[in-house]
Amino acid sequence: MHFQLSEEHLMIQKAARDFAQNQCLPGVIERDEKQIFPREQITQLAELGFMGMMVDPKYGGAGMDTISYVLAMEEISKVDASVSVCMSVNNSLVCWGLETYGTEEQKQQYLVPLAQGKKDGELYIGAFLLSEPEAGSDATSQSTTAEDKGDYYLLNGTKNWITNGSSASVYLVIAQTDVAKGSHGINAFIVEKNTPGITVGAKENKMGIRGSDTHSISFTDVKVPKANRIGEDGFGFKFAMKTLAGGRIGIASQALGIASGAYELALAYSKQRKAFGKEIMHHQAIQFKLADMATKVEAARLLCLKSAWEKDNHMDYTISGSMAKVYASEAAMWIATEAVQVHGGYGYVKEYHVERLMRDAKITQIYEGTSEIQRVVISRSILK
Ligand code: CAA
């Protein structure tokens, strides 16, 4: 066992860090305040190969490993979690799901442009539509229906809190075909956003990740060709669970980035701010906060990298991914809150970035499975 990153990993980490500092940092406060989707940044990320990082180059991807993905997610999330959630959903929920379970035709038609992040010179990204107004944690209680009509399915229902809701060109939609079969009656479909019958609701006015584009999406008699179903009939719930297992590594890495970003800001501030005749880093109250922050960041990073390593080595990463997500997201919330405290009054105003990181941290405890759901997954595995 060794804990050193390879030369290639260090290069990817540096590329992501430079991108975050040079392309994401300018304007991040304004994008947050005005809820501006970071289209330019996502387009540049696609040019870097970061929208399909782990996809095989034969399908337009960058062919990198999951460790690289964690490193890039951390660096970008330190600066702008609205950019990184878009990147995470496209990489781990949409591209991974299609590459792993799609047919060759589906991959050629959809995965190739999604992994490149563009089609005909335009931004081309995906969204993952599982949550509903009455089905969040209880994901098997799907009300969206997909009626089998022979050579097509007819979709009806509403999905909520969809990341990339209006900017995505392709939706992966989970819907109930046969309610009598419970989770085995659920299917997953590739649905093009411009299909007649789809309505994109108003953008949600959120506490954090305000640049990310979150909408409800409604389906009224939307015709989806049978060729767009992913996997065998009834595979949809397993598809969602398998896909989310990897997605949780992405969100854990996002939380890690928010945590390490907040820690680094608190550390830098403590070296310049003076109180009672000395820099505040010389006060034990601050030193102990910094020590706890550094320890939690390191623990979160190790959990993320371990889970990524398991995924790269074709091991089961479901539990380690849930552990990484619950730990990193709770660490992010705690560290960002303490970083505001270290900054005192300055921490409460926008220019110092930590209040945004604190607001952004909260969502990492909620989406892609709440902290409570991660504990369900972990406890089931240790108690079976
Ligand atoms: N891998 C493969 N199969 C799995 C699985 C996994 N990780 N987890 C469950 N399954 C299978 C089970 O084996 C079972 O199949 P069998 O009947 O063949 O045994 C079937 O799925 C049903 O599983 P459960 O009985 O365990 O189902 P449950 O109702 O108890 O719920 C749950 C399981 C883990 C709580 C699940 O509902 C869950 O993960 N909920 C959270 C949903 C979630 O994460 N939503 C995030 C929304 S997406 C998002 O946020 C994206 C974004 O935009 C940022």
The structural domains of the chain, with segments of one domain joined by +, span 7-123, 126-234, 244-382
pLDDT digits (tens, 9 = 90+) for 165-180: 999 999 999 999 999 9
| CATH homologous superfamily, domain 7-123 | Acyl-CoA dehydrogenase/oxidase, N-terminal domain (1.10.540.10)
Two structure tokens written together for 68:
């690289």
Say which DSSP state 107 is in. I
- Protein residues with CB under 6 Å of any ligand 1 atom: 89, 128, 130-131, 137, 139-140, 163, 183, 237-238, 241-242, 244-245, 318, 367-369, 373, 376-377
For a ligand 1 pocket test, name from 238, 320, 362, 384 the mutation site with the most ligand atoms within 8 angstroms of its C-beta. Answer: 238
Instruction: Reply yes or no on whether 368 is catalytic.
Output: yes
Instruction: Look at residue 1 and tell me whether its pLDDT is greater than 90.
Output: no
User: Tokens 């590329």 identify what position?
Assistant: 15
pTM of the predicted model, to two decimals?
0.98
What CATH fold (topology level) applies to the domain 126-234?
Answer: Butyryl-CoA Dehydrogenase, subunit A; domain 2 (2.40.110)
To the nearest 10°, report the CA torsion of 324, 330, 334, 336. Answer: 70
In tens, the pLDDT along 8-53 reads: 999 999 999 999 999 999 999 999 999 999 999 999 999 999 999 9
Residues with Cβ within 8 Å of 136's Cβ and at least 6 positions away in sequence, in order, are: 160, 370
Residue 382 pLDDT: 95
Cα–Cα distance for residue pair 361/365, rounded to 1 Å: 7
Distance, in Å, from the CA atom of 31 to the CA atom of 366, rounded to the nearest integer, reads 22
Pick the CATH number of 244-382 from 3.10.580.10, 1.20.140.10, 3.30.950.10, 3.30.43.10: 1.20.140.10
Residue 160 pLDDT: 98
Mutate which of 183, 203, 384 for ligand 1 pocket (most atoms within 8 A of beta carbon): 183
In this model, does residue 384 exceed pLDDT 90? no
Q: Which atom of ligand 1 is nearest to the CA of 369?
A: 44
Compute the distance from residue 241 Cα to the ligand 1 centre, in Å.
5
